[in-house]
């Protein structure tokens, strides 16, 4: 088994070295694929040095396109059997890889979501973010007929042949509802959810998600589920 760890990054100069080191320290055969989405804070300079290390591939966008676009760039370059999406901040801990991988390695799952709401340790932060996440997951579940507890989680693991064969189009944070809609409606993929730890950031620490992204997510949930259903019916 070989892992492909995808790290989309935008303006994370304070954390990118630490998260790459944590990923490197995880006890798996792996490749690390970083896509810098036109950072302006010095992240690119750090990555240019880190890219000289073995096992790290770095790609650069000339303009900021969004998380979804960065993930698409990375997918084109994966060679591992299993792919994990890893945010570039320190909110998600690579120590959770073992739990994420187990359902796939046991032959039970094609896709695994790491849930922040299934009892793992987590930093106590924003009540309204929690409510927003729960509402978006509920709305997504109504459209997909899944019973996820955390659709918007940043930790998702895929058999690589699954993520390679999914046609993704969303550029920004629409990646989460889009990939969920596709795997829910297409090809009878087996989906598991496992608890993960979560160390959320506040805005002074660089958190980027805001209420406008929540509103956009509602639109994306509706859009991509309709598209997926129409594709099945065609």
CATH number at residue 132: 3.90.550.10
Q: Which residue has the higher pLDDT, 120 or 234?
A: 120
Could you read off the pLDDT of 78-98 as tens digits, one per residue? 999 999 999 998 999 999 999
For residue 213, report the phi and psi dihedrals to the nearest 5 degrees: -65, -35
Question: With 70 as the cut, is the pLDDT of residue 209 above it?
Answer: no
The pLDDT value given to residue 206 = 52
Could you read off the pLDDT of 47-77 as tens digits, one per residue? 999 999 999 999 999 999 999 999 999 999 9
Question: With 70 as the cut, is the pLDDT of residue 199 above it?
Answer: yes
The pLDDT value given to residue 231 = 78
> What is the DSSP track for 8-70?
EESS-TTTHHHHHHHHHHSSS-EEEEEEE-S--SSHHHHHHHHTTSTTEEEEE-SS---HHHH
Confidence of residue 230 (pLDDT cuts 50, 70, 90): confident
Question: With 70 as the cut, is the pLDDT of residue 15 above it?
Answer: yes
CA distance 213 to 133: 11
Place of tokens 């009878």: 188
The pLDDT value given to residue 187 = 77
CA distance 120 to 222: 30
CA distance 12 to 39: 8
| Structural domain that includes position 224 | 3-233
Average pLDDT, the chain: 91
For the chain, how many structural domains are there in total?
1
The pLDDT value given to residue 129 = 77
The pLDDT value given to residue 233 = 61
Classify residue 229 as exposed, middle or buried by CB count within 10 Å of its CB (0-12, 13-18, 19+): middle
For residue 36, report the phi and psi dihedrals to the nearest 5 degrees: -85, 120
Reading the block at residue 24, the tokens are 């490197």
The pLDDT value given to residue 211 = 61
Question: With 90 as the cut, is the pLDDT of residue 220 above it?
Answer: yes
- 34-42: average pLDDT: 97
Could you read off the pLDDT of 150-191 as tens digits, one per residue? 999 999 999 999 999 999 999 887 999 999 999 999 878 999
């Amino acid at each position: 088994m070989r892992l492909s760890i995808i790290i989309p990054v935008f303006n994370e100069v304070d954390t990118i070295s630490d998260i790459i080191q944590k990923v490197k320290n995880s006890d798996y055969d792996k490749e690390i694929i970083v896509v810098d989405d036109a950072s302006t804070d010095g992240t690119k300079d750090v990555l240019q040095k880190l890219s000289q290390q073995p096992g790290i591939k770095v790609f650069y966008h000339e303009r900021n396109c969004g998380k979804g676009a960065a993930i698409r760039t990375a997918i084109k370059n994966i060679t591992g059997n299993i792919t994990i999406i890893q945010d570039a901040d320190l909110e998600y801990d690579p120590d959770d890889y073992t739990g994420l991988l187990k359902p796939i390695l046991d032959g039970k799952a094609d896709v695994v979501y790491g849930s922040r709401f299934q009892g793992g340790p987590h930093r106590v932060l924003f009540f309204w973010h929690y409510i927003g996440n729960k509402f978006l997951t509920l709305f997504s579940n109504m459209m997909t007929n899944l019973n996820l507890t955390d659709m918007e989680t940043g930790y998702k693991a895929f058999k690589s042949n699954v993520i390679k064969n999914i046609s993704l189009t969303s550029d920004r944070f629409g990646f989460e509802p889009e990939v969920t809609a596709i795997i829910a409606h297409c090809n009878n993929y087996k989906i598991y959810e496992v608890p993960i730890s979560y160390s959320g950031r506040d805005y002074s620490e660089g958190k980027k998600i805001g209420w406008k992204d929540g509103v956009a997510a509602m639109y994306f949930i509706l859009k991509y589920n309709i598209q997926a259903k129409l594709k099945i019916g065609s």
